[in-house]
Every structure is written in C-alpha cells, then in structure tokens.
Structure 1
Amino acid sequence: MTRRKAPASVWDAVPDVVQAEKQLKETEDRLRVLPPSPTPDEARQAVIDAAVEAQRVDGAPIPADIGEKAAGAYTAALAPHAERLALATAVNALRRRLPLLKSRGSRAVLAALAAQLDGVLAEVREITDRSGRLDAATAIDAGEQGIADYRRLTELVSVVDDVRKTQRSVYGETGDKGVLASLYRQGHDQFRGIPTTQPDDVGQWSRAEPSGALPADVLDVVQGRRRRDVSFLLYMAESGRAWLPLDVEELEAEARGAEETGTPDDSSNPLNQRESSRV
C-alpha cells in the first residue's frame, strides 16, 4: 500500500460539489471585475440633481430635454445594473446550495476515507504477523526486515493523521462544531464502544475505570496531549475498535449508545444539550 497524495480539495470526489465550486468561483470572478455602476434610479436622479444644482448656482434654466436626458441615463444604467444583480444573486444562491451538496456528498468522501483506513489497519496487521509488535528498539533487534517494517509503520502513522484530519474537516462542514468538539474529546470519532466516563483533564481517573475505556496513553493522543505514534497505530489495529463513521448522524448515534450504557447524566451529554436547546 502506497501513501497517496492528498487531493487539492477533500470534495474533489463529489462531482456536484466540484461543479458548484467551479461555478461559484467563475461567477465571483465576473462580479469582482465589473466596474462600479449606479442603479437606474440613481443614474436618473443624478441627471435631475445636476440640472437643479446648475439652476441654483448659475441660474441656468432646467433643460427642455431634461426628461429625455434623465430617461436616457436610467435606460443606460439598466444593463450594467441587471448584470451585477444577476451575478450577485447567483453567487448567493451557490453559497447557500454548497452546504446541501456537501452534506449529500459527504458519505462518499467518508466511505473512501474509511476504506483507506481499513487498508492501513490491514497492512499493520500484516506487519505484526510478520515481525511482531515493533518499536524502535525491537526493530533493530529484528534486523533488516524489522527496520523496514518499523519504517513503514511510521509512514502509516502519517497516513492516519491525514485521514483523521480530512475526516474532521468533512464533519465540520456538515455538523454542529460544538457538539463535534465534545465527541472528538471522548474519541467517539476514532473508536467504538467508548463509555461516557473517561479520565479527567489531567489524565487521572476520577472513579473506577469503566469497561471499554481507552488506555491512558491512547486517550492522551485522542485529547491532543500526545501525537500519534507507532504504539497508537498498533492499538488501533489490535483493538478492533478503530472506525470511521460515514456521517455525523452515525457518529452521534455511537455517542448516544455510549450514553445509554454509561453514565445517565443528561446534563453532561452534548447531544442532549443540543436537543434541549431546540425546544
């Protein structure tokens, strides 16, 4: 398995999003280069105001053809104003449509990421079957094959970093960021079966460790106190709990399942908080 170059955009695999983003950029570019132009009403009023000002300052009579001049200014302003209005309306419509298209297409993006993650974990298991659980020291002891396998494991850590970063960027386009942040901190987006009760912020257990809780070193990675490393990758592959939810709803359902089997304190559940806020 080779590491693939990250796409220019996570949405490159969703044709509807690609087309809409292309149309949005092209329309924004057209709108940006349009010269300033008055509205028809502004153009007509400018002619009238100029005639009245000339009369006030210089005593010039109101031109006999003031109506034609004002009407001509109004007519001349119609086309550029209509073009600006049409482009601005199109930009706003496309901006409103993109979130819907991304929501519809997010499952395909996440499914591709999930397949990539499964491929990584399968390769990790192949390596451990061949060379055992490697770290920097045991890799050297294992000889040339062990060193090569350990080097590959470090490369796969970077692949997982990229997958998880992209996964969260997709969720961020389609879900509530406050709720997602809480789910991320619990690790629901990375592992199944995590109970609601987890260690406190300093990494110490505030009560008896619940069944299914993540090991402290794994939780440190999940909560951002440590970077992913080979030992974390091995835990992902060996635990059988690593996963990648295919949409925000699936992620939230996993968290609700943990809530139902864990601590029944609705006040600590961000999903319940969000539902309550809608009432």
Structure 2
Amino acid sequence: MTENTGSRFKRWKKPLTIAFFLLLIVLFTMLARRIDWSEVIQTLGDFKLRTLLIAAGLTLCSFLVYACFDLIGRTYIGQPLRWKQILPVGFISYAFNLNLSAWVGGIAMRYRLYSRLGVSTGNIAKILGLSLATNWFGYMALAGVVFSSGLVTMPPGWKVSTAALQGIGALLVLASLGYLAACQFSKKRAWSIRGIEINLPSLRMACLQLALGALNWSLMAAVIFTLLPAKLDYPLVLGVLLISAIAGVVTHIPAGLGVLEAVFIGLLQHEVSRGSLLAGLIAYRAIYFICPLLIALVMYLGVEAKAKALRVKKTPA
C-alpha cells in the first residue's frame, strides 16, 4: 500500500465506520418495531433453570479455553509462570475485552496484570499478539469450513450471496493452510516490528492455536444454541455467529451491542419468530457478557488488594 493510498484509507475509515453504525441503528430500529415484545418477555420467563445452568457451564468452559490462549503465550515467551497466575489474567482480560473493548480488556488489563507478575513489556506484547492470533486463526479455520460447506444460506436481497459466502470460506481455508505451511516450512522464523521480535511458532503450537481458537468460537455458539428455539440447527447458529463477529469488528462497538441481534434476526427470522430470537440473545448477553464481567471485577479488585497489601508489607517502618 502506497503512502497516498494509506492516507486516503485513514481519511475514509472513520466516515465509513460512522455510516455503517448509523445504518445499523436504522436497521435495528426497524426490526425492533416489528418484534412482539410480549413474546420476548414471555420467552425470558419460560427459560428452565436447567437450560440456564447448561448455558452457564458452557460459558465457563469458553472462558477457560480463552484463558488457555495465554498458556500458549507462556510457552512462546519461555517465562516460568504458573497456570494459577495465568488463567485469572486470561479470564479477567476476556471479560473486560468483551464488554469494554479490546483496548481496555485485551491490552490495558493484560499489561497491568502481567507487569505485576514481572513480565517485561516486550513479552507482554508477545503474549497479547499470540492470543489475538490464536483467536482469529481459530476463527478463520472454523469459518472457512462452515462457510465453504454451504451450511449458512443467505436470505434473498442480501449483498453477500450464498455463493459469495462459500467463496469467502474457501479463501479462509486457504489462508489457514498457508499459516500452517509457513509454521512448518518457512526458513525465516523471526521478524522485528518496532523493536519487538516476532517469532513464527512451531507447527505443533500452530495446531494448538487452531484447536483452541476454533473450540472457543464453537462454545460461544453452543451457549447461544442452548438459549434459542430448539428447531434451529447448531451448524446454522454457529455460522450466523461467525458472520456477526465480522460485523462487530467493523463497527468497533463495545460488546457488539445491537450488531449481534441485528445479524441473527436478519438471517434467522424466516426460521423462527423475532421475539424468541431476541429473548435468547438477551439471555446470552446476561450469561456470557454481564455475569463474567461481574466475576472478573471481583477478581480484579482482589488482585489489586493483594498487590497493595504486598507493597505495604515491603515498605520499611
């Protein structure tokens, strides 16, 4: 990309993002007017305790899997940190990331918590980079298979047709295979970006990234699937979630508020009622976003209190 092209992209990026966001608001407002809110309230009240417990259990599994991304990072940087130190950092960061954006959770929170564990700034950046790579590499591989298989059918009138989605899926599969091939065969294993050395992981580590990343996205879809009407198939729910993830990244809205709902209602309203869809997604936000955030907040306050106690103890009288 030339300098002129880059500056032109930066100039148009913000207006296009705002336009997309406004379009999303209009779309969601139109959908909201056509939703039977009495059905939403009734569906929320009809959820069985067993269903909510299953969704909560799947959420816990998903957060633990995401926290394991940082365990790969520990191996990557070669620093002897205990898993009991790393998993809380991953859990707290993920909860804040989902609700308050990547800058707060994924970056700022990780830097603060890992610096307390004696990890250097360069190594924190490596852990963060590997975690991001694990998440999106798993997404690419999983979305590539789901999209290219034709499990998700786009409604008539959408700008992206089913055939185009299959083409995108094929490209994602090729990109995933290319990453694995690079990890196995690339002769150059290290690059330096702004003073931070980036090392290409081994094929074994890349396969672990793929497995954990794909598993986390699959568990997220399983939580939603548990809370949506029973007539929907899991592969379809998974595919719609993967599509909504891209829309959430484009808009940069914390927690993807409104984006997830708009995409699910837009793609699945011909399968089940809008009210039952929205009720399931509201329950999903409560279980997957709000509850873990409250737990993470308590955990973070505990970490801060423990650190403060250690500082007071070390301070000479």
Fold similarity call, TM over 0.5: no
Bigger radius of gyration, 1 or 2?
1
TM-score grouping bracket, smaller chain normalisation: under 0.3
Query: 1 or 2 for the larger relative contact order (CA 8 Å, sep ≥6)?
Result: 2
Kindly indicate which of the two structures has a greater share of residues assigned to helix: 2
Q: TM (normalized to structure 2)?
A: 0.20
